[in-house]
Amino acid sequence: MADEDTLSLRFHGAAGTVTGSCMEFQLGGRHLLVDCGMFQGSRSLEALNHGSFDFDIDKIDAVVLTHAHIDHCGLLPKLVAQGWKGKIWCTQATSDLLEYMLGDAGRIQESEAERHNRRRDRAGEERFVPIYTAEDALKAWRMSEPVEREEWFEPVPGFRARLWNAGHILGSASVELMVGGVHILCSGDLGPEHKAFHPDPEAPAQLDYVICESTYGDRARQKLTMAQRRSQLEREIKDAIARGGNLVIPTFALERTQELLLDIARLADANRIPNVPVFVDSPLASRATKVFAAHADELEDICGDDIFHHPAIHYVEDVKESMRINTLSGAIIMAASGMCEAGRIRHHLKHNLHRRESTVLFVGFQAQGTLGRVILEGAKRVRISGEDINVRAQIRRIDSYSAHADRDELLAWIAARRPIAGSLFLSHGESEAIASLKAQVEKDDPKLRVIKPQIGEVYALGAGEPARRTQTGRLDLEQMAGTDWQNEYADFVSNLKAHLGKIRDEKARKQALGDMRRVLDSYNEARERQKRRHAPGDNDQV
- Burial (CB count <10 Å: 0-12, 13-18, 19+), residue 153: middle
- ∠262-334-367 over CA atoms, to 5°? 100
Start-end of H helices in 339-460: 345-352, 371-376, 407-416, 431-444
Q: DSSP class of residue 107?
A: H
Transcribe 29-57 into DSSP letters: TEEEEE--PPP-SSHHHHGGGGS--SS-G
Q: Tell whether omega for the bond before 337 is within 30 degrees of 0, i.e. cis.
A: yes
* Other Cβ atoms closer than 10 A to 1: 18
List residues bridging with 460 in a β-sheet. Answer: 8, 468
CA dist 207 and 187 (Å) reads 12
In order of their start, the domains of the chain are 7-219+403-480 (3.60.15.10), 226-397 (3.40.50.10890), 485-513 (no CATH)
pLDDT digits (tens, 9 = 90+) for 454-512: 999 999 999 999 999 999 987 766 655 555 556 566 567 666 766 777 787 778 878 88
Residues 6+ apart with CB under 8 A from 125: none
Q: DSSP class of residue 541?
A: -
CA dist 381 and 369 (Å) reads 15
pLDDT at 523: 79
CA dist 440 and 432 (Å) reads 13
pLDDT at 513: 81
**Which own/partner contact pairs does 92-95 have at CB distance under 8 Å and 24+ positions apart?**
92/146, 92/148, 92/171, 93/170, 93/171, 93/291, 93/295, 93/298, 94/65, 94/67, 94/68, 94/144, 94/146, 94/170, 94/171, 94/172, 94/173, 95/141, 95/144, 95/145, 95/146, 95/171
- ∠132-136-140 over CA atoms, to 5°? 120
SS (H, E, C) 486-540: HHHHHHHHHHHHHHHHCCCCHHHHHHHHHHHHHHHHHHHHHHHHHHHHHCCCCCC
pLDDT at 538: 45
pLDDT at 488: 64
pLDDT at 231: 96
CA dist 195 and 201 (Å) reads 10
Low-confidence spans in the chain with pLDDT less than 70: 1-2, 119-124, 303-306, 476-491, 493-495, 497-498, 531, 534-542
- ∠425-427-431 over CA atoms, to 5°? 115
List the 60-64 sheet strands across, edge first.
144-146, 87-90, 60-64, 30-34, 22-27, 7-13, 458-461, 468-471
Reference 470, options 480, 462, 481; nearest CA is 462
Start-end of H helices in 243-326: 256-269, 283-294, 319-324
Burial readout 499-534 (b: 16 or more C-beta within 10 A, e: otherwise): eeeeeeeeeeeeeeeeeeeeeeeeeeeeeeeeeeee
